[in-house]
Amino acid sequence: MRSIILGAALLAGLSGGEARAGEIAQIGPRPFYLVDSMKPGPVQDRLRACGSDRTYTARAFSIAHRGAPLQFPEHTREGVRAAARMGAGSIECDVVFTRDRHLVCRHAQCDLHTTTDILARPELAAKCSRDFQPADPATGRKASARCCTSDLTLAEFRTLNGKMDAFDAEATTRAAYMNATPRWRTDLYATTGTPMTHGEYIVLVKSLGRRFIPELKAPEVAMPFGGYTQDQYAQAMIDAYRQAGVPAADVRPQSFQLRDILYWLEAEPDFGRQALWLDNRDETDPGFDPETPASWKPGMADLAALGLRTLAPPLWMLVRVGAGGGIEPSAYARAAKAAGLDLITWSLERSGPLKGGGGYYYKSIRPLIERDGDVLALLDVLYRDVGVTGVFSDWPATTTFYANCMGIE
């Protein structure tokens, strides 16, 4: 089994990967459950014909979002390994910094209270920006806390244990606040969650023969932080790959902040040309509409002129309900392709059961989302009609399965 080799497009230029890079992907039963729950039609027929008895291998199209957080604590060694086993060609680390300015993997600078056991550790909870405050039904106050990586030193961060990302805003105790994993996820694999530094992530992903897709997270503290500037932070992330001997071709830096992309294009052009701009203007610009080009500031041609090559919006921005009642590319998707921009999108398998519309990630096609199998119907449109070159997923087995079945590297 270890003699099976990944497609050349995935591993071309990879340095230092061990033989494990050629392992067969373990996709498990979920993709077949999704196929069985699709609406009957040509896409279901083709995916069903793919079969469970064939060999599946890792694919570049399949990108692990924070590891495999549908069932494993995000940004942990265990989640990264699970994602690699499921055939993710690239594995994400969201990069933030500690109080002593070491880079670590965490989805947000201030999420330790929902993604780790910090609130159950009195000596560390006392260091939080805001320790746990219980809900007060009499006043309507919600339970809250705010614990940031920048509240802790690297040594303190290393002692944490990851847990499934969740909290209960109605909780009156710490234990209840922490014990809130949604029913459609699981704590079965959350008894151990080993947090990683950015450097440890590089070593692990390199050993697995996968590519790197680090995201520089926006700081949630005033910058400069003790003299640490945004540009120093952006540079430190790139420096880590240089120091580890990882070529720029194996790294896809990301940021929601366009200024970070422009910094990399200027200071580190080999890495900058690989960068993804994560477009969340729907959350930052009240006037933004993916069907109204005049609301896109900057526009697609402007982005291309700045040197951006890859745009990465959420799933819903790329699709709409077509005149015939099916899913079709949005005006945003068509304009991006016309401007010569590659598209990568996020995040599949993050919405739980799709009965009832699928929530945020499906909001532009909500009338068409009725069942779990619709995730594959959307994925098919994203690949065939929109032309995405990669898809983030919380359960990479699904995207690995689809890529193998459709012959995508």
CA gap 47, 69 in Å, rounded? 25
Dig out the tokens for 13 from the structure: 């230029």
Query: Which CATH number is associated with domain 8-109+195-406?
Result: 3.20.20.190
Q: How many other C-beta atoms are found inside a 10 Å radius of the C-beta of residue 108?
A: 17
Whole-angstrom distance, CA of residue 104 vs CA of residue 85: 23
Amino acid at the residue 335: A
Closest CA to 65 of 97, 48, 90: 90
- Count of positions (residues) in the chain: 409
| pLDDT value of residue 51 | 82
Calpha distance 310→390 (Å, rounded): 11
* N-terminal to C-terminal alpha carbon distance within the chain: 19
Q: How far apart are CA 255 and CA 348, in angstroms?
A: 19
Question: What are the structure tokens assigned to 86, written together?
Answer: 């499921």
Structure tokens at 293: 């080009």
Check whether the bond before 224 is cis (ω within 30° of 0): yes
Distance CA 175, CA 181 (A): 12
Nearest-5° Cα angle at 214, 107 to 399: 85
Cα radius of gyration rounded to whole Å, the chain:
21
pLDDT of amino acid 209? 95
- What is the secondary structure of 247-262 as a DSSP string? -GGGB--EES-HHHHH
pTM score over 0.75: yes
Integer Cα distance of 254 and 310 in angstroms: 10
Per-residue pLDDT of the chain (409 residues), as tens digits, is: 222 233 333 333 333 333 344 478 999 999 999 999 999 999 999 999 998 789 999 999 999 999 999 999 999 999 999 999 999 999 999 999 999 999 999 999 999 999 999 999 999 999 999 999 999 999 999 999 999 999 999 999 999 999 999 999 999 999 999 999 999 999 999 999 999 999 999 999 999 999 999 999 999 999 999 999 999 999 999 999 999 999 999 999 999 999 999 999 999 999 999 999 999 999 999 999 999 999 999 999 999 999 999 999 999 999 999 999 999 999 999 999 999 999 999 999 999 999 989 999 999 999 999 999 999 999 999 999 999 999 999 999 999 999 999 999 9
Residue 55, burial from CB neighbour count under 10 angstroms (0-12, 13-18, 19+): exposed
Place of tokens 């023969």: 209
Strands (E) located in 209-341: 211-216, 254-255, 276-278, 310-312, 319-321, 327-329
* pLDDT for res 16: 36
Confidence (pLDDT) at 52: 77
Q: What is the pLDDT of residue 62?
A: 98
Question: Which is it for strands 390-393 and 342-348: parallel, antiparallel or unpaired?
Answer: parallel
pLDDT of the residue at 53: 84
- Residue 7 makes CB contacts below 8 A (sequence gap 6+) with 57, 59, 60, 409
Identify whether 122 is preceded by a cis peptide bond (ω within 30 of 0): no
